[in-house]
Amino acid sequence: MVFSVLLAACSDSSTPTDPATPNSQESYFPLTKGSTWMYNGLVTYTATMEGDTIVGGKTYQISRGSTGGTSLVRKESGNYYQTLITPPNFTEIPMLKENAPEGTSWEYDGVANSTLNHYVYVLEKRDLKYTVNGKEYSDVIKVNLKDTLKISGISINSQSVDYYYAKGVGLIEFITPKGKISLVSYSIK
């Protein structure tokens, strides 16, 4: 579910295209229109921020992946929210809290493929140096997500995914039980 929003970033331009959009250099998930991120690993694809839309009185940025996935993403007070379901079946998922201290956790319950899923996010580390495809990034946040299926009230099939976000770049890598998807190149507008 979270794969469709994979983002990260690349140029030295930091002027937002919309005054409501935060400064990309200070963001762990840049939302500026025209920004692109290319990934490889388990899946090879490109994610592009295409502009904005208003849903329920809130402004979201549209993230479209080359494999067909689309997500709406917004930032409010250092917290990032995404949706993976097209309105009117609209649910916000709190995916990143960039100002939270290490050890902060947050939870979300959602339905995917008619099955209840319980998601627990933990901001495990801040201010990391982390290398992806030979490039070292600094000021990286690591977030762990545990996704547990719940069937008839019983938790089964738990999996863990680690997400690495670099300031001014975005999502640089995520590691699943099946492998990883890593940033190859990026361009932030």
Strands (E) across 42-112 are located at 45-55, 58-65, 70-76, 79-83, 93-97, 105-112
Single out the residue of 9, 11, 12 nearest to residue 31, CA to CA: 9
What is the arithmetic mean of pLDDT over 107-129? Answer: 88
Between 6 and 139, the more confident residue is 139
For residue 86, what pLDDT is reported? 54
The number of residues in the chain equals: 189
Instruction: Give the pTM.
Output: 0.84
Arithmetic mean of pLDDT over the chain: 84
What is the arithmetic mean of pLDDT over 162-186? Answer: 97
- Give percent of the chain above pLDDT 90: 62
Task: State how far the Cα of 9 lies from the Cα of 26, in Å rounded to an integer.
Answer: 12
Task: State how far the Cα of 186 lies from the Cα of 53, in Å rounded to an integer.
Answer: 23
- Give percent of the chain above pLDDT 70: 83
Between 85 and 103, the more confident residue is 103
Task: State how far the Cα of 42 lies from the Cα of 179, in Å rounded to an integer.
Answer: 6
What is the arithmetic mean of pLDDT over 170-187? Answer: 97
Q: Do residues 137 and 125 touch, judged by C-beta distance below 8 A?
A: no
What is the arithmetic mean of pLDDT over 168-186? Answer: 97
Task: State how far the Cα of 126 lies from the Cα of 141, in Å rounded to an integer.
Answer: 5
For residue 1, what pLDDT is reported? 39
Confidence of residue 21 (pLDDT cuts 50, 70, 90): very low
Question: Where do the domains of the chain lie, and which CATH numbers do they carry?
Answer: 2-187 (2.40.360)
Task: State how far the Cα of 5 lies from the Cα of 2, in Å rounded to an integer.
Answer: 6
For residue 18, what pLDDT is reported? 36
Confidence of residue 23 (pLDDT cuts 50, 70, 90): low
Query: Edge-to-edge, what's the strand order for the sheet holding 36-41?
Result: 93-97, 79-83, 70-76, 58-65, 45-55, 36-41, 179-187, 170-176, 154-166, 135-151, 115-132, 105-112
Confidence of residue 12 (pLDDT cuts 50, 70, 90): very low
Looking at beta carbons, which pairs linking 131-134 to residues 24 or more positions away fall under 8 Å?
Answer: 132/164, 132/172, 132/173, 132/182, 132/183, 133/182, 133/183, 133/184
